[in-house]
A and B are shown apart, each in its own frame.
Chain A
Amino acid sequence: MQFSSTSNYIVADELALAVQAAVTLEKPLLLKGEPGTGKTKLAEELAASLEVPLLRWQIKSTSKAQQGLYEYDAVSRLRDSQLGSDKVHDIANYIKPGKLWQAFTASERPVLLIDEIDKADIEFPNDLLHELDQMAFHVYETGEQISAKHRPIVVITSNNEKELPDAFLRRCFFHYINFPDAETLAKIVDVHHPTIQRDLLETALEVFFDVRKLPNIKKKPSTSELIDWLKLLLVEDIGVKDLKESNGLMPMFGALLKNEQDVQLVEKLAFMSRRRER
């Protein structure tokens, strides 16, 4: 298996290696990195390039590990029993498979994305240890043992809101997606906006990296924000000149700066540099 950059996704070499190792050794791959560096997108692109289905399990603060395995719908069963339905005699009719179950029983080897695992309760990863290790679990209600036909390719993303337990980490491969350098970023932009002019792109990237380098900035703009910003620049037909000569805030700053204080900070700095030039 060789996973590499596609027509709409650029993969760094070390990330490609990480994916390859995780797929070959059938280990879950844990991805961390700044928001907007393409962690979730990786799973989508991986599934697309392998031509297998993608199962996405979006984690929320109320998510329980059990929901990924299965849920028992007691209420419908009780209601069916009132209506005298025949279904009621078989408890299996009321077991709803969760994402892990679906991944384990899929006919081909799927990609399972466990998105933003850090959003869940602090015990959540511990509850999944055995299931991810053995790729099997027991259904208490029916006494069934569900084990994976093919071990799914598991991709887990985290934004570092909570730290994950050691025991869980030991079972994963870990890759930290570094923020791309200017050159890689230019490639990424090229994939999204192939028609952008060379010099506009260069100036825009300069502005973008300047903003990222500002000390004390609350929310650093990321790749996805850059791409949105460039889209706006293209739509509004803003030329290199406008971009270079914009005193104060850059045009369409709303796409890059998502925090009121950051906007003020950039404005203040621009004001100061203008004064210095005079």
Chain B
Amino acid sequence: MLIEFFFCLRKHGLKTSITELLDLLNALEQQVVFADIEAFYYLARLTLVKDESQFDRFDRAFADYFEGVEQVDLAEAIPEDWLRRSMQRQLTEEDKAKLQALGGLDELLKTFQERMKEQQERHQGGNKWIGTGGTSPFGAYGYNPEGIRIGQDGSNARRAVKVWDKREFRDLDTDGELNNRTMQLALRKLRKFARSGSADELDLDETIRATSKKAGLLDLKWRPERHNAVKVLLLFDVGGSMDDFIYECQQLFAAARSEFKHLEFFYFHNCVYEEVWQSNERRFSEKTPTRELINRYGRDYKLIFVGDATMGPYEIAYPGGSVEHWNEEPGAVWMRRLLNHFDSAVWLNPQPREHWRWHHSIDMMHELMSARMYPMSLDGISDAITTLLRKSATTAPVS
């Protein structure tokens, strides 16, 4: 039962498992819902989909599957009389005559879907489009004997709109290969536990030792809890060509932020020069000299650059090469200063690796970083972290 439906969901890219299918069947067996396709839709979504960003896929799969089923199974399984009778109960004689106007119920639904596809904007009045107040069969607060009501609150049993066709979760669908959780799990590898901070955990071993030293007089010993002691300095490239990757960067940032206690971040544009900034809105008034980064943060900070490194080669190699201001020293000099100070550093590049060779500036940056540039994919992040944790990777490039 519902095996085809299950495979249809999987075909649409939902990661539904067998246990979840069994849950759904179990719910049906217990008659949580009965012979109500809308309720069934909600029940199936409740049991099979566990992430609102997948709702849209589910809606599409559901429509896909039930379009087929309605034509084949239901039409044969349900006597036509039933349908007609329940329709007729709600219609007056006059209405029934008009019912033929658009060719009956099946036709109505089909037309509805077609118009849904045709129509792009909200509509009011008129007699064709889906909207409010008109005489079109589709819409709310209007009059048409065989109309489909949309978004108008009426008795649920009769509400004709098919919720899954509205696809209201479209905005939430993300192709979440690199989602927050997987990114966090990747970043977790960078954890290094150390006991620091206030002592609030009972150290039982130490207490027993101390107590027995005092001949049984209780002497409590405390120790700090284990915390992640890794310190991270993130430098983000913003603006220009990075606009395409804002989403990925936000994800990385959100993941990193909740994972590390010692996380400092700064922004730069294209390449690091003498100044970086922390707030994009006040970037021209509140800047931090790059030299201060070197002085303020110890060499044990893990330095992570995030940027696409796509720019003119002169922006790295020449004084005055920056697109925004006159820089006294070339970006490459500042890069080397940073890399000399911090023991471990990597560059994460949201550009796919295949595109790297098309940009000369990426080559240059890659060389500056002594090949420690990684794509911003899960594997890339894992590799980057391995590099960050390796002590031997500390040799900075010779300038």
Contacts and interface: CB of A to CB of B under 8 A. Distances in A.
Interface of A: 13-14, 17-18, 20-22, 24-25, 27, 30, 32, 74-75, 78-79, 81-82, 122, 161-166, 169-170, 172-176, 178, 181, 183-184
Contact of A21 (B27, B169, B211, B218): B27
B15 interface: yes
Contact of B27 (A14, A24, A170): A24
Contacts of B76: none
A18 B42 contact: yes
B46 A122 contact: no
Contacts of B23: 25, 27, 173
A174 B181 contact: no
A161 B168 CA distance: 22
A19 to B, nearest CB: 10
B218 A79 contact: yes
B188 interface: yes
B280 interface: no
B131 to A, nearest CB: 16
Interface in B103-152: 151
Contacts of B42: 13-14, 17-18
A176 B45 CA distance: 10
B246 interface: no
Contact of A165 (B47, B180, B181, B220): B181
What 8 A-B pairs come out closest when comparing CB atoms? A163-B181, A169-B50, A176-B52, A14-B42, A174-B50, A21-B32, A82-B218, A173-B46
A206 to B, nearest CB: 15
B32 A75 contact: no
A184 B153 CA distance: 9
Contacts of B26: 25
Q: Which of B33, B39, B51 has the most CB of A within 10 A?
A: B51
B258 A25 contact: no
Contacts of B220: 75, 78
Given A74-B202, A122-B185, A13 B30 contact: no
B45 to A, nearest CB: 8
Contacts of A17: 32-33, 39, 42-43, 46
Given A17-B43, A75-B202, A162 B180 contact: yes
A165 B181 CA distance: 8
Contacts of B382: none
B50 A30 contact: yes
Contacts of A82: 216-218
Contacts of B156: 13
Interface string B227-271: 000000000000000000000000000000011000000000000
A164 B179 CA distance: 11
Contacts of A175: 46
9 contacts: A13-B156, A18-B46, A25-B27, A79-B218, A82-B217, A161-B258, A173-B47, A178-B168, A184-B153
B57 to A, nearest CB: 14
A255 to B, nearest CB: 26
Contacts of B217: 82
Interface string B152-183: 01001000000000001100000000011100
A170 B181 contact: no
Given A173-B47, A174-B51, A176-B55, 6 more contacts: A24-B27, A25-B27, A122-B185, A163-B51, A172-B50, A184-B153
B19 interface: yes
Nearest to A13: B156
B224 to A, nearest CB: 13
Given A24-B27, A25-B30, A170 B20 contact: yes
Given A122-B184, A174-B46, A174-B51, A20 B32 contact: yes
Contact of B49 (A122, A174, A181, A183): A174
Contacts of A172: 50
